[in-house]
Amino acid sequence: MNDIKVKVAVIGAGTAGLSAFREAFGVNPDCVLINGGPYGTTCARVGCMPSKLFIQVANNYYHRHVFDREGIKNGGGLSIDRREVLRYVRSLRDYFVGGVIKSVEKLGDKNIKGFARFVAPNVLEVEGRKIIADAVVIATGSSPVIPKPWREYGEKLITTDDIFEEDTIADEMAVIGAGVIGLELGQAMSRMDVNVTMVEGTESIGGLTDPVINRYAIDTIREEFNLYLGHPAELSRNDSQLELSCSGEKRGIEKALIAIGRRPNIQGLELEKIGVGLNEKGMPEVDSSTMRIKDTPIFMAGDVNGFRPLLHEAADEGRIAGYNAVRSKTRCFRRRASLAIAFTEPQIAIAGNRYREIEEVPHIIGEATFDGQGRARIMDKNKGILRIYAEPGGGKLLGAEMMAPEGEYIGHLLAWAIQKELTVFEVLNMPFYHPTVLEGLRTAVRDLSSKVEGPRPELELPPCGKCPVE
């Protein structure tokens, strides 16, 4: 329990923290990893991996509705055991978590268990032990928000951090919040024969800002379960049940999933000791290109800083923080094109700039629907709409929003094209295989190309460059 001096101390063993530690350790092994909560990362324990398992099971079961018309008989006799579903999810979840924990265990005495707090800008205290570090990376993640008046309802409320620890899923569930997580889990539960009522205080869902896509998504989701927008939810207790009030209606529910956002895990860190100003939420100012807190040797990466709370972004931020923490000169890094995906069905995806970010600047929009798209019809997933934004002059891609089948792949290709600053004509130079859902992407880009101002190629195919010019 002696005090120690190190080059870099990383607080938090999640995706950002592990990425920062590995990056710094590869340059100078005089580093420690400090973690006071559960190991295994948010993604593997309670986020990306168990939620996608849950969603996959729900979709597998839901698709029994198309069996009869496809000639597959007796699909109507299938049933689902939600208790067994959760056991299955936990079994694979534990596999993913186990792999992360094994990698941490290999760190030996470089891994320090306990909660850290600042006692000076470069001094941490962990369980009574002082750690003096040349640089510190804060990567403590985030936790679900539960409004204080609701906390007295105890086991009647669950969050995304504990839903997969439930013995089963109740027959009547409220989902408070129609962001990405609320939509994903709400639709999955509905597809497992749970009576779901979802309430969202705003008029948009899934992070969408394009009014056309948002309206389509709302209408699509409402085909599966009750969705109330524009009014905050009110919860009260009525004997053994919760009572949900929204839009002037009241209904009894067994449990409520609270998915209204997450807050940074900064409690107990005593950030006031680092010697910089904090905002009204107790947060310091962080440079998103360096992860550095003002002029200090302290960096903040991952969900805790609130920039882009997604795993791939947390990993990038951890690498940036670790890179700079172990070096004497701070370096700026260009962030990748933004990409966000909700694994609903159809999937919601946003690539590059959202509509609200280009709404006030000159732009053109290309659109495609998937109702009659060949591959989508073959898969019996012919629902969806895609809208792509570009500059009017030249047609450089700016961004896109969609609710579309295979939206995860359409979103990826668009994010790549946006990061490479391609024009609509350069995208149309690329091959599109038939029949694939990605032909819907080509339809939208073709629509966009017809609106570009100025000269345009005579064909989508580029000239070979060998023919004489007439």
> Per-residue DSSP letters for 441-465?
HHHHHHHHHTT-BS---SSSSPP-S
Whether residues 210 and 193 share a domain: the answer is yes
Q: For the segment 291-301, what is each residue's pLDDT rounded down to a tens digit?
A: 999 999 999 99
Whether residues 393 and 297 share a domain: the answer is no
Q: What is the CATH number of the domain that holds 180?
A: 3.50.50.60
Whether residues 60 and 163 share a domain: the answer is no
- Distance of alpha carbon 451 from alpha carbon 232, whole angstroms: 41
Query: Is 230 part of a structural domain of the chain?
Result: yes
Last residue of a domain, one of 213, 232, 260: 260
Give the residue-averaged pLDDT of 441-453.
Answer: 97
C-beta pairs of 190-194 under 8 Å, 24+ apart in sequence: 190/224, 190/225, 191/58, 191/59, 191/61, 191/62, 191/224, 192/57, 192/58, 192/61, 192/80, 192/82, 192/85, 193/80, 194/82, 194/169, 194/170
Whether residues 117 and 212 share a domain: the answer is no
What pLDDT, on the 0 to 100 scale, is given for residue 462? Answer: 86
What pLDDT, on the 0 to 100 scale, is given for residue 251? Answer: 87
Whether residues 18 and 127 share a domain: the answer is yes
Phi and psi for 55 in degrees, rounded to 5?
A: -65, -40
Give the residue-averaged pLDDT of 416-438.
Answer: 97
Whether residues 430 and 441 share a domain: the answer is yes
pLDDT at 470 over 80: no
Nearest partner of 384 among 342, 338, 429, judged by Cα:
342
- The sign of the CA dihedral 199, 200, 206, 209 is positive
- Distance of alpha carbon 342 from alpha carbon 183, whole angstroms: 8
If you average pLDDT over every residue of the chain, what do you get?
Answer: 95
Whether residues 220 and 163 share a domain: the answer is yes
pLDDT at 360 over 90: yes
Query: Is 375 part of a structural domain of the chain?
Result: yes
Q: Which H or E run includes 392?
A: none
Whether residues 245 and 208 share a domain: the answer is yes
Query: Is 464 part of a structural domain of the chain?
Result: no
Q: Among residues of the chain, what percentage have pLDDT more than 90?
A: 92
Q: Which H or E run includes 8?
A: strand 4-11
What pLDDT, on the 0 to 100 scale, is given for residue 466? Answer: 86
Query: Is 462 part of a structural domain of the chain?
Result: no
Strand 255-258 and strand 172-176: the pairing is parallel
Whether residues 217 and 268 share a domain: the answer is no
Whether residues 172 and 219 share a domain: the answer is yes
- Distance of alpha carbon 227 from alpha carbon 313, whole angstroms: 30
Nearest partner of 257 among 156, 149, 151, 184, judged by Cα:
156
pLDDT at 469 over 70: no
Whether residues 13 and 139 share a domain: the answer is yes
- Distance of alpha carbon 36 from alpha carbon 90, whole angstroms: 23
Q: What is the CATH number of the domain that holds 361?
A: 3.30.390.30
For residue 76, name the pLDDT band (cuts at 50, 70, 90).
confident
pLDDT at 1 over 70: no
Last residue of a domain, one of 273, 291, 325: 325
Give the residue-averaged pLDDT of 91-118.
Answer: 95
Tokens of 359: 């709404």
For residue 61, name the pLDDT band (cuts at 50, 70, 90).
very high
- Distance of alpha carbon 402 from alpha carbon 383, whole angstroms: 11
Inter-residue contact 88 to 74 (CB < 8 Å): no
Query: Is 457 part of a structural domain of the chain?
Result: no
The pTM is what?
Answer: 0.94
pLDDT at 2 over 90: no
- Distance of alpha carbon 242 from alpha carbon 354, whole angstroms: 37
pLDDT at 454 over 80: yes
For residue 240, name the pLDDT band (cuts at 50, 70, 90).
confident
Amino acid at 297: P
Q: Which H or E run includes 221?
A: helix 211-222
Q: For the segment 21-52, what is each residue's pLDDT rounded down to a tens digit?
A: 999 999 999 999 999 989 999 998 899 999 99
- Please provide the DSSP assignment of 225-247 as one string: SEEEESS--EEEEETTEEEEEET
Q: For the segment 388-403, what is each residue's pLDDT rounded down to a tens digit?
A: 999 999 999 999 999 9
pLDDT at 383 over 70: yes
Domain span holding position 163: 148-260
Phi and psi for 104 in degrees, rounded to 5?
A: -75, -40
What pLDDT, on the 0 to 100 scale, is given for residue 441? Answer: 98
Give me the number of domains the chain comprises: 3
Q: For the segment 324-358, what is each residue's pLDDT rounded down to a tens digit?
A: 999 999 999 999 999 999 999 999 999 999 999 99
* Cis, bond preceding 455 (omega within 30 deg of 0): no
Q: For the segment 213-239, what is each residue's pLDDT rounded down to a tens digit?
A: 999 999 999 999 999 999 999 999 887
Phi and psi for 182 in degrees, rounded to 5?
A: -60, -45
- Please provide the DSSP assignment of 161-194 as one string: TTGGGSSS--SEEEEE--SHHHHHHHHHHHHTT-
Last residue of a domain, one of 260, 277, 293: 260
- Distance of alpha carbon 397 from alpha carbon 417, whole angstroms: 7
What pLDDT, on the 0 to 100 scale, is given for residue 92? Answer: 94
Query: Is 30 part of a structural domain of the chain?
Result: yes
Query: Is 465 part of a structural domain of the chain?
Result: no
- Distance of alpha carbon 388 from alpha carbon 352, whole angstroms: 10
Whether residues 15 and 52 share a domain: the answer is yes
For residue 187, name the pLDDT band (cuts at 50, 70, 90).
very high
- Distance of alpha carbon 346 from alpha carbon 406, whole angstroms: 7
Query: Is 461 part of a structural domain of the chain?
Result: no
Give the residue-averaged pLDDT of 56-75.
Answer: 94
- Distance of alpha carbon 43 from alpha carbon 18, whole angstroms: 13
